[in-house]
């Protein structure tokens, strides 16, 4: 029990005194996950909207694929991405392996299907009168889409939160394609796994608390944004 | 200018193989108030949505302002921007009353100050002065209906379509609504096409009355027939 309370005290100290290593790890985690989530949202929201509101052959199959991809194991994504960007892989010449950008790509692959699937569900749940009302008031096709997305904004922000939550907490992909290099690709989750394995429970716990705090703060910010846009 | 706003020829509409509208010939004169009455399922809303370019007919010709509207609408947006539709059970966007009323003006790229002025003028007209900051979703059914009407008249349309405009509106405001429709028609020469169950209301305000039954026009009564001096 002592090591838990000791860990908590040390965690508070590391966070309170802004330990440089902890801060560096936290900032890298945030940066990688934020960039991945932004790209995943830029691709996922329009794609989800098109699939959700469009009528085309094979729509149900496409929706099923995205729903399945939501549960794509992080290590499998890491493994496949590793195969592509490793030196012998088809994209090996880009030199991405064990860089933060490799982790961004991996996390993009993890969060995009989740955002697409949740956007599909959000756009299908929108009252059909939104479209008709916007049309009847003289909106063009783009403005109609904007009106529909605006009505779905609460669900869309939830989709982005879920996408961010999936990637900030994942460890498998970041470990495999990032390599957990100290000061370069070490994120909170990979550091927690490593420090626990090493027996430095306090440091791992400090990072764990910090991860929870960041996830909490990001959620508060996004919910505040939700309220503001409402 | 052509004295006919609409000329309709051989118009039909089928839903799931069932003919819901069959109008061999109909003319709608410019600058008048036209009432469309009939029981539920008589095709009133279908006729209104076809004339307002929101729904395509199955067959037939529509001539608007002397020009034939083809089924492959090239300039559908320009046509839709000459009219305004207040749908039955209208949908209000999940935002403030002001933004709802300003929506049609905004999509037309109108200046923000003009939008503000127009919004308060129209809210005043429908008896909702000072409602700008209220959340649209927190309004009563009657208030929501009047906001939708304000949203339509704010556009100063050439043709205003009102589908069952008195639904959810109490007696006092029905009178106000009838006065507004009359004023709009008198002041701006707006052609008004309104559907209703209320025969008395129609005869009170309409210049002519189109009686629909089972998708067919049974009778068109001109104002001269029911507004002859005593």
Q: Please state the ipTM of this predicted complex.
A: 0.86
CB neighbours of B206 closer than 8 A, spacing ≥ 6?
B33, B34, B35, B194, B223
> Is pLDDT at B48 greater than 60 in this prediction?
yes
pLDDT tens-digit profile of A31-89? 999 999 999 999 999 999 999 988 899 999 999 999 999 888 999 999 999 999 998 88
Alpha helix segments (H runs only) across chain B: 44-51, 76-80, 97-107, 112-125, 141-153, 171-188, 199-205, 223-226
The pLDDT of residue B226 is above 90: no
Residues of chain A contacting B89 with CB distance shorter than 8 Å: 129
Mean pLDDT of chain B: 88
Nearest by Cα to B57 from B101, B108, B10, B126: B10
Interface test with A, best of B88, B106, B107 (most A CBs within 10 A): B107
Please report, rounded to a whole number, the percentage of residues in chain B having pLDDT higher than 70.
94
Element counts in chain A: helices (H) and strands (E): 11, 0
The pLDDT, as a whole number, for residue A49 is 92
What's the pTM value of the predicted model, to 2 decimals?
0.78
Confidence band (pLDDT; 50, 70, 90) for B23?
very high
Reported confidence tier of residue B113, pLDDT bands at 50, 70, 90: very high
* Chain A residue numbers touching B103 (CB-CB < 8 A): 134, 137, 139, 147
pLDDT tens digits, B80-93: 899 999 988 889 99
Say how many Å lie between the first and final Cα of chain A, rounded.
46
Read off φ and ψ for residue A136, nearest 5 degrees: -70, -15
pLDDT at B227: 59
Q: CB neighbours (10 Å) of residue A76?
A: 12
Of the candidates A133, A138, A230, the beta carbon closest to that of B91 is on A133
Positions in chain A whose pLDDT score sits under 50: none
């Amino acid at each position: 029990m002592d090591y838990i309370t000791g860990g908590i005290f040390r965690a508070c100290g590391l966070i309170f005194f802004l330990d440089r290593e902890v801060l560096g790890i936290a900032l890298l985690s945030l940066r990688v996950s934020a960039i991945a989530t932004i790209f995943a949202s830029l691709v996922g929201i329009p794609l989800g909207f098109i699939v959700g509101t469009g009528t085309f052959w094979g729509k149900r199959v496409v929706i099923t694929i995205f729903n399945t991809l939501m549960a794509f194991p992080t290590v499998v994504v890491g493994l496949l991405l590793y195969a592509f960007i490793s030196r012998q892989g088809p994209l090996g010449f880009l030199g991405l392996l064990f860089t933060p950008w490799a982790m961004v790509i991996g996390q993009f692959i993890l969060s995009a299907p989740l955002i697409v699937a949740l956007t599909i569900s959000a756009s299908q749940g929108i009252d059909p009168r939104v479209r008709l009302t916007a049309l009847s008031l003289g909106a063009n096709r783009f403005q109609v889409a904007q009106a529909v997305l605006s009505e779905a904004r609460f669900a869309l922000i939830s989709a982005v939160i879920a996408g961010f939550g999936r990637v900030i907490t994942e460890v498998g992909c970041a470990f495999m394609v990032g390599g957990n290099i100290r000061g370069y690709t070490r994120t909170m989750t990979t550091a927690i796994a490593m420090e626990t394995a090493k027996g430095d429970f306090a440091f791992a716990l400090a990072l764990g608390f910090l991860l929870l705090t960041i996830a909490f703060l990001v959620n508060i910010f996004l919910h505040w944004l939700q309220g503001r846009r409402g | 200018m052509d004295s006919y706003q609409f000329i309709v020829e051989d118009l039909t509409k089928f839903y799931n193989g069932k003919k819901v509208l069959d109008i061999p010939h109909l003319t709608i004169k410019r600058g008048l108030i036209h009432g469309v009455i009939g029981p539920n399922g008589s095709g009133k809303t279908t006729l209104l949505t076809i004339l307002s370019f929101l729904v395509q007919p199955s067959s037939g010709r529509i001539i608007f302002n002397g020009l034939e509207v083809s089924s492959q609408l090239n300039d559908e947006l320009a046509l839709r921007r000459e009219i305004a539709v207040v749908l039955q059970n209208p949908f209000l966007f999940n935002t403030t009353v002001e933004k709802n009323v300003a929506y049609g003006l905004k999509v037309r790229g109108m200046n923000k100050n003009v939008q503000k002025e127009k919004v308060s003028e129209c809210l005043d007209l429908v008896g909702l002065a000072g409602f700008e900051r209220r959340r649209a979703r927190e309004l009563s059914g009657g208030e929501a209906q009047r906001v939708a009407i304000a949203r339509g008249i704010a556009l100063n349309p050439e043709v205003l379509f009102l589908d069952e405009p008195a639904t959810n509106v109490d007696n006092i405001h029905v009178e106000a609504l009838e006065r507004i429709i009359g004023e709009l028609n008198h002041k701006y020469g707006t052609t008004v096409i309104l559907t209703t169950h209320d025969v008395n209301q129609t005869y009170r305000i309409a210049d002519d009355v189109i009686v629909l039954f089972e998708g067919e026009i049974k009778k068109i009564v001109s104002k001269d027939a029911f507004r002859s001096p005593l």
